[in-house]
Amino acid sequence: MAERISLSYRDVIIERKFTSDKKILAGVTFDYRHLQDWISYKKRFEPFLNEMIHESQSSPLSAASYNLNLQTYASHPFIDVYVNKCDKGTAFQYVTSKISNTQDKKKGLQKIMYLGDSDNDNPAFAKADISIGVRSDDRLNPKLSCTKIIKFDMLSMFLKRLMENNFLFSDDIFQFN
């Protein structure tokens, strides 16, 4: 599929995503954010890709025994195709279960923060104690279900302040004047 897209849509950057051992292809990102008029490109490209996935899975000649999952974004100029359904909320829950000290969490001493910049981060925002959306591009307006928003150009200052405060979040750290 990636090869066919690269022939039909030469402007699309194709990024293959592998499992952590770099042996199994887990997904592909089709990225066109670098294009001047990516909005009209998005309108033409996404339906084509969706149709291509549907056709490949309904073909009797298809060797694929899995269902591809198309992850689109309301306002971002890229698409992800995965071999399994991906959910950042599930991933967030798994990671935090491995690092979280439940005693500290029950006492209110430990809060877990999540930062994200697109609508596919919403499941993780819902599970985080502190959820911060990052606005990386003024042309984008994703619907983020987070409690705070920060512009990308202020992110490094925020993270520096957070580090200086021993990674304890407070609203004072978030004030930029």
Say how many C-beta atoms besides its own lie within 10 A of residue 119's C-beta: 19
Helix (H, G, I), strand (E, B) or coil at 105: helix
Instruction: Tell me if 96 sits within 8 A of 124, measured CB to CB.
Output: no
- Those residues whose C-beta lies under 8 Å from the C-beta of residue 39, and which sit 6 or more positions away, are 77, 139
Give the domain range for residue 94.
Answer: 88-164
Same domain, 40 and 111: no
Evaluate whether residue 175 is within a structural domain.
Answer: no
Partners of 69 in the beta sheet?
82
pTM above 0.85, yes or no: no
Same domain, 141 and 73: no
The model's pLDDT over 113-147, given as tens digits with 9 standing for 90+, comes to 999 998 889 999 999 999 999 998 777 788 899 99
Domain count, the chain: 2
Same domain, 22 and 76: yes
Give the lowest-confidence range in 24-38, 50-64, 72-86. 50-64
d(CA 77, CA 16): 17
Residue type, 29: T
